Structure 1
């Protein structure tokens, strides 16, 4: 019997009883030490991973948890740190990390703005005069932690290079290709190290693909992902989109990745229509986002089964991955009070 894979794009970081928020506030108010904060938040992270394992999820996300913001995590890992907070050649301290997010007595915090059309706000990367260098591979750390301490061979999740840089500010966007070229080697190193560590799947989030892009930007996607593909001779790369349908479907399905993640919830039916019209590559997995990741209501299983049956007429069952349409970041862990 052919098994359909299940996947999750990201888990709520808040904790079942809002433990994440409480731990952070206690730390900021000097009520707990850094070691206690790290211990408590590790407990939240492990509880989330174990729950997904118990529920039988095949591709469990790692590196989706953060102490403040996943975009900020990537920025500090790349050394994209505003100069008002200092110069760094190694991974930043927790104090500096929170200073960037919240400010301190001598430096204002980095700007926050909405993550696409959600209520989540991310820390905007400040890209002016940046010379990026890989100070920390947080995705690798998260992958090894889950594998070695929990026996979970997780799926590292990383914001992809085009989305990350398009969401930044301060760089010369007229020379966007040159900016991207600075970061591609860092992404390649992250992926190479994950591949060498045994990661079987790596998810690169590119929700910017659900917006309008110029032809040269789409061409840049092809060039960048051709390079990233070479960094993972063993791992499968998932190009993940969400929040809406993609405009340039025909170009996107030709990109050199192993799986394409599409939103079948907030797409107004367009994702299915495009597959019906243009087909889907036989050599790729379709990561079908058929569960709403942005509300708390239970999905209608019969309806979802019917939707899957339609997809299996278009894509081989063994090439379908069932998953939410977006990260579950946007919902509480439970409806219980």
Structure 2
């Protein structure tokens, strides 16, 4: 038997009533609101939404609870866009879809800001609390550097910045490090090892289980091999977008003792049945005869901000039921 843990990569959709309320408070679109200097009324809206998102995950029976990242209008770029030494540039397409973010332009030293830690602390005492952070390599690809002026130094500075943020976190059960750029714009020779070392720096900042969640497809073979060198507890694989190549990587190069499986589509409104989710988990188990996983994190393959709120909630319910009704046979 393998322990199946229902989890998510966070980045939840903001409910429409909250969007309207925030727009009324500020007199303009919400995409312009998150600048690190929200007023009391705006902060109160985000606090209320955070509470609602936590309660909704608990109602769905998820084993890991995230704070939801409702403030992250710029998605993975958020921790930089709220930093004092970062200016926001123009609107940029977020990977290959119809979502957009404000490009962070780093103009000074990336010192600790405490922004993510404050959001986590606001959750309070919750069983199974999970932190979510962008990975250093993905942040390097989503932003521009006008301060460090060196690719390797910039990646290292981002890793140290994230490590400093994580060291201020309250106690959490799991840390999910989101690294879609490892797939979308994979590092080349030399940089693949540097990306793994940067992830190592992030993982070493916390004494808990660390999962590096990759998505938008399968990792290139060499990038996957280098990622396994990092001192992390699990790699997350996108079994929605490219299940065959993800399976090949596992069987050809191995993986960690634990694994995260992206088995729910975070970008499609079609809601998977409980049976479908279980079948996908069991298929991976049956198709990796050389692996003996201790823990399987069952999760959407991407962040969930792409979805309408009702579909998002239905997917949480299906995921929670699929993972907690019974353990999956190896």
- Could you say which TM-score interval applies, normalised by the shorter chain? 0.7 to 0.9
Contact map agreement 2:266 2:300 (CA 8 A) in 1: yes
**Residue in structure 2 matched with residue 42 of structure 1 by the alignment:** 47
Once residues 144 and 174 of structure 1 are traced to their aligned partners in structure 2, the CA distance between those partners, rounded to angstroms, is: 34
Q: Return the TM-score normalized by structure 1.
A: 0.80
**Per-residue displacement from partner, 1:122-141 (whole Å, max 9, x unpaired)?**
111112x432222x222211
Once residues 255 and 84 of structure 2 are traced to their aligned partners in structure 1, the CA distance between those partners, rounded to angstroms, is: 38
Contact map agreement 2:81 2:102 (CA 8 A) in 1: no
**Residue in structure 1 matched with residue 102 of structure 2 by the alignment:** 123
Uncovered stretches (5+) of structure 1, i.e. residues with no partner: 83-99, 101-109
Once residues 185 and 318 of structure 1 are traced to their aligned partners in structure 2, the CA distance between those partners, rounded to angstroms, is: 30
Once residues 281 and 152 of structure 1 are traced to their aligned partners in structure 2, the CA distance between those partners, rounded to angstroms, is: 25
Contact map agreement 1:147 1:153 (CA 8 A) in 2: no
**Per-residue displacement from partner, 1:159-203 (whole Å, max 9, x unpaired)?**
111111222125489720011233333222112222xx3122111
SS at 1:4's partner residue? strand
C-alpha displacement of 1:5: 0.7
1:334 maps onto 2:307 in alignment: no
Q: Report the number of matched residues.
A: 297
1:312 maps onto 2:317 in alignment: no
**Residue in structure 2 matched with residue 8 of structure 1 by the alignment:** 8
**Residue in structure 2 matched with residue 85 of structure 1 by the alignment:** none
**Residue in structure 1 matched with residue 118 of structure 2 by the alignment:** 141
C-alpha displacement of 1:111: 0.9
Pairwise mapping of residues 103-182 of structure 1 onto structure 2 (< 5 A)? 110-127=89-106, 129-134=107-112, 136-148=113-125, 151-171=126-146, 175-182=150-157
**Residue in structure 2 matched with residue 62 of structure 1 by the alignment:** 67
Compared CA separation, residues 23 and 273, structure 1 to 2 (3 A): same
Once residues 156 and 111 of structure 1 are traced to their aligned partners in structure 2, the CA distance between those partners, rounded to angstroms, is: 28
C-alpha displacement of 1:212: 2.9
Contact map agreement 2:269 2:307 (CA 8 A) in 1: yes
Once residues 197 and 86 of structure 2 are traced to their aligned partners in structure 1, the CA distance between those partners, rounded to angstroms, is: 27
C-alpha displacement of 1:278: 2.8
**Residue in structure 2 matched with residue 190 of structure 1 by the alignment:** 165
**Residue in structure 2 matched with residue 204 of structure 1 by the alignment:** 177
**Residue in structure 2 matched with residue 296 of structure 1 by the alignment:** 269
SS at 1:62's partner residue? coil
Q: Return the TM-score normalized by structure 2.
A: 0.81
Uncovered stretches (5+) of structure 2, i.e. residues with no partner: 29-37, 314-330
**Per-residue displacement from partner, 1:232-281 (whole Å, max 9, x unpaired)?**
2x212111111111113222223221111111111252112222333323
Once residues 172 and 143 of structure 1 are traced to their aligned partners in structure 2, the CA distance between those partners, rounded to angstroms, is: 29
1:254 maps onto 2:254 in alignment: no
Larger Rg computed on CA atoms: 1
**Could you tell me which of 213, 220, 235 is aligned with 2:208?**
235
Once residues 323 and 295 of structure 1 are traced to their aligned partners in structure 2, the CA distance between those partners, rounded to angstroms, is: 14
CA RMSD of aligned residues (A): 2.5
**Residue in structure 2 matched with residue 103 of structure 1 by the alignment:** none
1:272 maps onto 2:272 in alignment: no
Compared CA separation, residues 168 and 287, structure 1 to 2 (3 A): same
Compared CA separation, residues 318 and 164, structure 1 to 2 (3 A): same
Compared CA separation, residues 294 and 251, structure 1 to 2 (3 A): same
**Residue in structure 2 matched with residue 222 of structure 1 by the alignment:** 196
Contact map agreement 2:264 2:301 (CA 8 A) in 1: yes
**Residue in structure 1 matched with residue 316 of structure 2 by the alignment:** none
Higher RCO, 1 or 2 (CA under 8 Å, sep at least 6)?
Answer: 2
Once residues 186 and 274 of structure 1 are traced to their aligned partners in structure 2, the CA distance between those partners, rounded to angstroms, is: 30
Once residues 304 and 72 of structure 1 are traced to their aligned partners in structure 2, the CA distance between those partners, rounded to angstroms, is: 30
Contact map agreement 1:13 1:20 (CA 8 A) in 2: no
Once residues 59 and 131 of structure 1 are traced to their aligned partners in structure 2, the CA distance between those partners, rounded to angstroms, is: 33
